Structure 1
Amino acid sequence: MELPKELSVNGASYTVKKLLGKGKGGYSYLVTDGAGEYVLKQIHHEPCEYYQFGDKMAAELNDYRRLSETGIPMPRLLAADLEAERILKEYIAGDTILDYVRRDQMRPEFVEQVRAMCRLLYPAGLNIDYFPTNFVVQDGRLYYIDYECNGYQEQWDFEHWGAAYWSQTPELTAYLREHP
């Protein structure tokens, strides 16, 4: 895939600096307007064998609203371009939890911070995607950088699913073999 040079949101143009990642719902790019850096997410419609989507853009905006109400640390939504299926959000610079685990530098306070998020999410009936690439540490504070959330199910909560990827476990080792 060739990296686009520029992308726009509601007519405002942004220079693409790099691809940050590809998820189930879209491509996230680090972009700049010359004054600041942001994340621009372009929704994609590529099939995903383990997840079913309806209207991805509506889901993204609804999930942001639901998560904002919980108060978990996450990037602010700055703009939404419904026609182009793009969102612009605050850029949280830092290493992901996966980076920390790969370097064998995981800290107990990061796990405590995700558990603090759980204490806000579970009473609201929500789970988030606890995979370690969805969490960035900036100045010692953990942020959930995705907006995906789903109704709470014990099998998909942090303790029963996510925690298996937050340390050097067989699950994470298998993932890293498939995604070097």
Structure 2
Amino acid sequence: MVEINSIISTNIGELKIVEFLGRGKSGYSYLAEFGNQKLVFKLMHNEENPYYKFDKNKVELELKSYEILESITSNIPKLIDYSIDKNYLVKEFIDGKLASNAIAENILQKIHLERLIKLAQECEDLNINIDYFPSNFVITEDEIFYIDYEVNEFMKEWSLENWGIYYWLNSKGFKMFIETNDSSFINSDVQKGIPHKVEFEEKAKMLFANFNGLK
């Protein structure tokens, strides 16, 4: 990990680390200052994940994924800098609210779910999945941004419709998860990363049916 207020040397110059943003499957993300500009510095880690395996260098994987995502949507942070040797990425900072926090506060709007479903269907058309876990998204008033660069080959079990949407609908569970860091509030199987589904199945079906009816 990187200490807050430390200075990191990158290809674009020195960044000042000002805030820890979070830990993902592949790395630690930090808010950094570059002059008057806010950026995100992501340092890859080697920690194991019980339900996801990386078969290549994580920076190289994310660079490849970034190229794919650019062809699908403009609602991703721009890649500013990277180093395979030093194992980092520098990305644009998207100013907004983490979707996970919006879900916990029960302030997510219909437009956000509609844009999420639209993005998921565009990904499925290209036979890919992204990581639909809410902490990988930032929302603004009427937009949604995918702030991770993870892309995988499409598998139905990890699609939005069969996996991710159940996190987005579990407001009470996410509130408790954020407060306690106990993932059993959002997962029926913590080790495999399987969300609680039964109580949200009807709402999920209705969401997708209504969206498809609008197309």
Q: Same fold (TM over 0.5)?
A: yes
1:1-180 aligned at under 5 Å gives the runs 3-4=3-4, 5-10=6-11, 12-53=13-54, 54-71=56-73, 73-168=75-170, 172=174, 175-176=177-178, 177=180, 178=182
Which structure would you say has the larger RCO, counting Cα contacts within 8 Å and 6 or more residues apart? 1
CA contact (8 A) 1:114 1:142 kept: yes
Counterpart CA distance in 2 for 1:26 and 1:35 is: 25
Q: What is the CA-CA distance between 1:119 and the residue it aligns to?
A: 2.5
CA contact (8 A) 2:127 2:153 kept: yes
Q: Distance in 1 between matches of 2:106 and 2:26?
A: 29
How far does residue 174 in structure 1 lie from its aligned partner after superposition? 7.4
Worse-superposed segment, 167-176 or 143-152: 167-176
Give the conservation status (yes or no) of the 8 Å contact 1:3–1:18: no
2:42–2:90 Cα contact (<8 Å) kept: yes
Q: 1:151 to 1:142 in 2, by over 3 A?
A: same
* Code of the aligned partner of 2:50: E
SS at match of 2:48: coil
* Offset of residue 47 of structure 1: 1.7
Partner AA of 1:149 in structure 2: V
Cα RMSD for the two superposed structures = 2.1
Distance in 1 (CA, whole Å) between partners of 2:176 and 2:3 is 29
Alpha-carbon distance in 2 for matches of 1:72, 1:131: 19
Structure with the higher helix share, 1 or 2: 2
How many Å apart are 1:140 and its aligned residue? 2.4
Q: Which runs of 5+ in 1 are unaligned?
A: none
Shift of the 132–85 alpha-carbon distance from structure 1 to 2, 3 Å rule, reads same
Residues 11, 67 of structure 1: CA spacing in aligned structure 2 closer, same or farther, 3 A cutoff?
A: closer
C-alpha distance 2-128 of structure 1, shift in aligned 2 (>3 A): closer
Cα distance in 2 for residues equivalent to 1:60 and 1:102: 28
Distance 2:166 2:74 in 1: 21
- Residue 200 (structure 2) aligns with: none
Cα-to-partner distance string for 1:7-41 (whole Å, 9 max, x where unaligned): 22226110001010111100101001122000011
1:122-169: CA deviations, max 9, x gaps? 111111110111110134210000000101111111111001000226
C-alpha change, 1:171 and 1:125, in structure 2 (3 Å) is farther
Q: Which secondary structure state, in structure 1, belongs to the residue aligned with residue 21 of structure 2?
A: strand
Counterpart CA distance in 2 for 1:107 and 1:138 is 10
Aligned sequence identity (%): 29
TM-score normalised by length of structure 2? 0.77
Tell me, which stretches of 5 or more residues in structure 2 are unaligned? 186-215
1:25, 1:43 within 8 Å by CA — same for their partners in 2? yes
